[in-house]
Structure 1
């Protein structure tokens, strides 16, 4: 499973991306519970809220799941997923698929 967290916005309007490839059984055992704990269905309503100036937005992908959340909604399981991806993932700049 590939997990990608993209953070965009903020005062500098920079985009940063962290990616993790959980392919081994040990990696999947670690990441699947973190991904499953996130309320993916609830995230659909969060993404429709208006953007707040100078705030971060997070686009999160985990396998076939997708969510876009404002910074203020990255709490609980979302926060754990984002922080683990930042700590353990490979970091790059730019967007998904190298778009900027």
Structure 2
């Protein structure tokens, strides 16, 4: 499975990306556990409150499903997935 994380915004307004192909990783089962822990409803469905200046926006794609989460709301399983992809993924 392919996972892509894109971080945009922030003070400089830059975009960074990280990609992982879990099928070629050393432990595909561990990736499946992380993905299976993701909520089945998008994190953006909850009230998000007022925008935060210079906040990051995270766009996460797992296979054909994409969610966009404001930085201040990135937590739980989504934050775990982002951290893992950033650590193991190829930056671009």
Report TM bin, short chain: 0.7 to 0.9
RMSD: 2.2
Q: Gaps spanning 5+ residues in structure 2: where?
A: none
Residue of structure 1 equivalent to 2:54: 54
Distance 1:25 1:91 in 2: 15
The DSSP-based 3-state class of the residue aligned with 2:60 is strand
TM-score with structure 2 setting the length: 0.86
TM-score with structure 1 setting the length: 0.79
Is the Cα–Cα contact under 8 Å of residues 58 and 70 in structure 1 kept in the other structure? yes
Q: Gaps spanning 5+ residues in structure 1: where?
A: 93-100
Q: Aligned-pair distance for 1:38?
A: 1.4
| Mapping of residues 1-100 of structure 1, within 5 Å | 1-24=1-24, 27-46=27-46, 51-92=51-92
Distance 1:65 1:47 in 2: 21
Is the Cα–Cα contact under 8 Å of residues 58 and 68 in structure 1 kept in the other structure? yes
Query: How many residue pairs align between the two structures?
Result: 92
